[in-house]
A = this chain, B = another copy of it.
Amino acid sequence: MSLFRPEIDRIAGYVPGEQPQDSGWTKLNTNENPYPPSPRVVEAVTAAAQGKLNLYPDPLGSKFRKAAATVLGVDPDWILPGNGSDEVLTILTRSFAGPSDQIAYPYPSYILYETLSDLQGARHERLLLEPDWSWNFDKLAPQIERSKLIFVPNPNSPSGNRWTWDDLLALTPPRGILVLDEAYGDFCDVPHRGELLNSSVGRQVVITRTFSKSYSLAGIRFGFAMAHPDVIAGLRKMKDSYNCDTLSLAAATAAIEDQDWMQQNTARIRATRERLTGALTSLGFHVVPSQTNFVWATHPTGRHKAYYDALKAQKILVRYMSFPGVDWAPDQRLDGLRITVGTDLEIDTLLDALAQIVK
């Protein structure tokens, strides 16, 4: 007899991308940044490690919030630090959605939102995107209307496209919260700046950011929410007292203070992204123009799983993704390869292998 809640027994749980613990892999599957974090991060962590680790961290992460507020042009009370934006998304789910409430999210998109809904025991619905990754608002209006919480990654994954502010405004549920998951926002040609928080629906919008991607710090687990201080104050009740540790707070503070380092890396990734997109197109792939550090590539052969397997056999990991229930896709299933923009060398390795595989 299981003593778990029935909702928990029913689900399989979220399965993250493969994280091989041995070496020798060209790892283009989980959208990590191929470049190291700022040297200031290493200095800050080394100093913090020699400090008072026997004491609890600052429960509010005040130094980080001050540094982030300066960069983002808001007051520190608009910022809630978290143990990765994963934790922030969990806090948001638990804060706004009870068992009878509806959570919605675009589809195909980041499948974690569905797992978060299941774990919370909330109801959930997919907002089916069009074949060109746009929204059919006429069709979706009733779903948006009845949602308490809508998660939208902007730019989206796996497609890498970015939506307009008008789209996002139209996605804000009339009696609910819109969460803009901006994990990849820094990779846009013109990065987001949280303007929607100052709009007429500003108090219904929460923006989440992560240090895992643009700041090259997936290893430290750090993200944050940005929202009106009244919203942040409510979210703070839900978080664990000391949800961020001394070392990650030191690392994130140093990282956000070194904007030059981050921007140099995102610029390099944008350049490589352009080259990768062109080369994949030459190999016959269709590639969605990306505003992120990955590209979504599909091939007329449809042999995406075979390509993934052939690459993996050569220790090149990309993400094979398959989305059932997409009525406009062949057999109602959209699949393809989501490929992280690595270093130029890693992308050469990938392209050389792919050229052999798809020919």
Chain A residues at the B interface, C-beta cutoff of 8 Å: 2-5, 7-9, 11-14, 16, 19, 21, 27, 30, 32-37, 41-42, 45-46, 48-59, 62, 83-84, 86-87, 90, 94-99, 101, 112, 119, 121, 148, 175-177, 204, 212, 216-221, 234, 236-238, 240-248, 251
Cross-chain contact A53 with B27 (CB below 8 angstroms): no
Q: Which of A3, A49, A58 has the most CB of B within 10 A?
A: A49
A204's contact among B3, B42, B84, B246, by CB below 8 Å, is which?
B3
With known contacts A86-B240, A87-B240, A220–B53 Cβ distance under 8 A:
yes
Evaluate whether A54 and B37 lie within 8 angstroms (CB atoms) in the complex, with A3-B177, A219-B245, A247-B220 already known. Answer: yes
* A240 surroundings in chain B (CB, below 8 A): 83-84, 86-87, 90
Contact A216 B53 (CB under 8 A): yes
Number of copies: 2
Q: CB within 8 A of A8: which of B21, B238, B244, B246?
A: B238
10 A-B residue pairs with CB within 8 Å: A2-B234, A9-B234, A14-B237, A14-B241, A16-B242, A19-B58, A34-B54, A37-B54, A54-B219, A83-B240
CA–CA, A59 and B30, complex, Å:
13
Contacts of A59 in B (CB 8 A): 16, 19
Contact present for B13 and A237 (CB under 8 Å): yes
Chain B contacts for A238, CB-based, 8 A: 8, 13, 119
Known: A219-B245, A237-B13, A242-B84. A49 touches B45 (CB 8 A): yes
Complex CA distance for A321 and B26, rounded to whole angstroms = 55
Query: Chain A interface secondary structure, helix, strand, loop or mixed?
Result: loop
Which B residues lie within 8 Å of A16 (CB)? Answer: 56, 59, 241-242
Whole-angstrom distance from the CB of A351 to the nearest CB of chain B? 22
Complex CA distance for A319 and B224, rounded to whole angstroms: 31
Closest B-chain residue to A97, C-beta based? Answer: B5
**In the complex, chain B residues whose CB is within 8 Å of the CB of A216:** 53-54
A139 to chain B, nearest CB (A): 25
With known contacts A16-B241, A96-B3, A53–B234 Cβ distance under 8 A? no
Question: Do A219 and B95 have beta carbons less than 8 Å apart?
Answer: no
Contact of A247 among B57, B177, B219 (CB under 8 A): B219
Check B83–A4 contact: CB distance below 8 A: no
**What are the 6 A-B residue pairs with the smallest beta carbon separation, nearest first?**
A13-B237, A219-B246, A53-B219, A54-B216, A45-B49, A16-B241
Docked complex Cα distance between A121 and B33 (Å):
39
Q: Are A175 and B242 in contact (CB under 8 A)?
A: no
In the complex the two chains form, is B220's CB within 8 Å of A95's CB? no
- Given known pairs A13-B237, A90-B240, the reply for A3 and B176 (CB within 8 Å) is yes
Asked whether, in the complex, the Cβ of B245 is within 8 Å of the Cβ of A248, the reply is yes
The 8 Å CB contact of A245, one of B35, B95, B112, B220, is B220
Once the chains are docked, how many angstroms separate the CA of A176 from the CA of B56? 32
Contact A54 B35 (CB under 8 A): yes
> Smallest CB-CB separation from A90: which chain B residue?
B240
- A236 and B15 CA atoms in complex are apart in Å by 11
Interchain nearest-CB distance for A186 vs B (Å): 14
Q: Are B52 and A49 in contact (CB under 8 A)?
A: no
Scoring A19, A51, A148, A247 by chain B CB atoms within 10 A of each residue's CB, the highest score goes to A247
